[in-house]
Structure 1
Amino acid sequence: MPRIRARLAFATVGVAAGALLGIAPSTALLPAAPSAAAGACEPGTISFIPDAPPALAMLQADVVGSRATGKGVLVAIVDSGIDVGNPHLAPVVEGGVDLVGDGERADGLSDLRGHGTAIAGVIAAAQVPGSGLRGLAPDARLFSVRVFRGDDDESVEAGFGPSVERMAEGIRVAVDRGATVINVSMSDIPDDPGLAQAVEYARAHGSLVVASGGNRSTSASTDDGPRYPGAYPGALAVGAADAQGQPSDASIHGPHIDVIAPGQNVLSAATGAGDCVYSTDFPASSFATAYASAAAALVAEAHPEDGPDGWIYRLSASAARADLDARDDAAGWGLIQPYDAITMLPDASTRGPESPFFDTSASAVRPAPGSVVLEHRAEPFVITKEFALVLGILAAAVLGSLGAFIVFRRQRDEPEGPTLAETTGGLLTREVEAE
């Protein structure tokens, strides 16, 4: 399996490693195909890509900046660390902490795996000359909570791989350091009490955990079903959308999925380098989670009083979907739309998920299903309609005969003048001119 030291274009985490750990970063970050020169993603090569991230066009980035930029919101990234040396990230990272204990920087601002750095760039990358990269929430501030060194065999055997315990500890540390939004681009299959308590701790302190819904290529099981911490109440579980904004089968589906976000052809920051394009072959929920975290930061800035449940509701109720009244296990409530989430005015008629603000149980306009009973006997209403139809026909015949008689009498008695067709034509002409 390729290592971060060999190339920043991340390798897919093996299913065997996921089965061994019981947890794996939801990456599916395949070898990148950057539009810059060969080697652009490698450490030591500072190369920038001038194109803007394609996901921004799907996420209303052209208009949402007029309402919120993430200013005043601290986003914690519970991950492999953040390379603060990347020029996109140096201005936006406020610090961090290391929970791995592998001898790297105690402030969590190193990243041998490169995963956390890429997540950070999606959320809040600052613009630099020659690069089109910018974060969806460019004025948010980032805090690194380093909870694993890597998912390679060496890291796992040394005890520095991903673990549920460090993930839960990382969430608590993020809350205590004042994070409003906590990005967890990881997932686990078993329901762990310590992890559940960490998510509830965040919720109780006004922090929102945004977590990956899971990837088939990195999960110990490819079966659909809940993945944690995203499936816990108070967390936002995110699935990956493809380049067209549609839900991807590369993501785990299930009742835990709240929304989807772009996860393919992702332009972001690279460790020890500049820009890199990730996940070109198929979508990864890690990046979708990052975009959802950025959107949550925008909503939290605009509506701080709503709290975690309100932010989840806004992002879910405003998401783009074909049926406003229905969610499904692939797309949840749909593709996030940050501007719509900020500008929506929730009330009792708002369609979609259950609202924390109003009773929306009667908001769906779809009629309740019913059954039609056919009977052979004629109902009184049917008889009335048939009788009225017969009377109408007779009345029309009588009136028609009477009208013809009157016209005949008038033509015989009145002097000659303009014809009816001439008179009507004149009226139509005058009407058109008057308009």
Structure 2
Amino acid sequence: MNHLWNLVRKELRELLTPSSLISIIVVVVLLSSLGTFMGSEIKGQMSIQPVGYYDQTGDGDDGYATYSINELKNYYKEYGMEPDEYIIDLSQYIKDDSPVEDQLLDAMKSAGVESSLVFSKDFNDNIKKLERGTIDVYWIQTNTSVFSSLNTVIAGETVARLNDYIGNRLVSEDPSLDKNEIDIIKAPSLMTGSTFFNGTLQKGVTPDQIYSALGNQTMFVPIIIMLVIVMIGSIVISSIGNEKENKTMETLLTLPINRTTIVSGKLIGASIAGLIMGALYMVGMYFYINGVMITTGDGVSLESLGLTLDVLDWIMVIATMFLAIICALGMCMILGAFAKNYKAAQTYVLPISVLALIPMFITMFGSYGELPMILQVLLFIIPFTHPMVVMQNLMFGNMAMVFGGLAYLLVFAFAMIYVTVRLYKSDILLTGIILKKKNKAE
């Protein structure tokens, strides 16, 4: 029994080292903070959002458009909410001497709404003739996060509620209706959608269609970057731990080769391997996305949205990815220098994994430009954020963020290389960190 207990203690000492415990605690703290952020983001997006409206019928309080809006306001009153805060009249921001569409974007921004309903001029006349009236729905899409398509659902629910109010009124006005007329009453209004995306009106396009077209940049690119960084980082750190355990590191460092050359060779070789892995992942994702779009496609493409990348843009994307991989490898080589053996090296992958996971989740579920300033700064400091958002920044013309990210990655990469070279020139790789204890007699 004593032998068993001694073996257990030995394994616990090797596995539960201070470095591994600190890494796990950091991961727990970061994931808890990330969970809190995600929870608040989801709660904010799922709460009731204000909707604007503009009535072009001009029929006053007797019209079906005004009637349904008033009934919707009464619905909010029943639940103790102020209706004027959630149903906002845009007529105060729109002038009669120019087309509504030309003024609607500024009106929605002034009213602080991201979706609005515009009742067509013949809406009431069509309803009276038991024909479907048209409600044009407009959205402002400011980001491409997972929650960016919720505006489509919110506007759709509002129109469905308006249909119920109008249908009930039609039934009360004329109970003797045939089947075709009842079908119209069930859906008296016809909803059409258009979206102000990147300052341009995309007619007949909804936010969920735009999100679907941008799905690979929003969802898959951050995942690919995260996988490549974690895989390459794990390989490099494990390789260093294995070399130290097998004593091949000592042989390598005793060869008549400049330490800078050794570091450069490791970094360049691993970076090229990372780019190859990333390219293979992207090819696989490309065919996957195309296969899904064939079965669930909705006719909206990046070309129709004006969001294509040219050759220079792709060069910037590749340069950003390459620099981010070098930054990751430099960090991994620095962490691997303190690993005593292969087993200990496994725990040093955790910090790199967490630094890759944080920007991945935040960029998927939120928009960088709409985050608090302190969070934007923290994300900018993490080098893995930039390859995850570079494609979106290029598409939206955020060139300051693109060039700023490239400059930061370049400085960060050189800093990592400098620190790594200094470590390789020292004896830490062979002896580890030696903590000198004071003599008790002294």
Pick the TM interval, shorter chain: under 0.3
| Structure-1-length-normalised TM-score | 0.23
| Structure-2-length-normalised TM-score | 0.23
Write 1 or 2 for the structure with the bigger share of helix: 2
Structure whose alpha-carbon radius of gyration is higher: 1
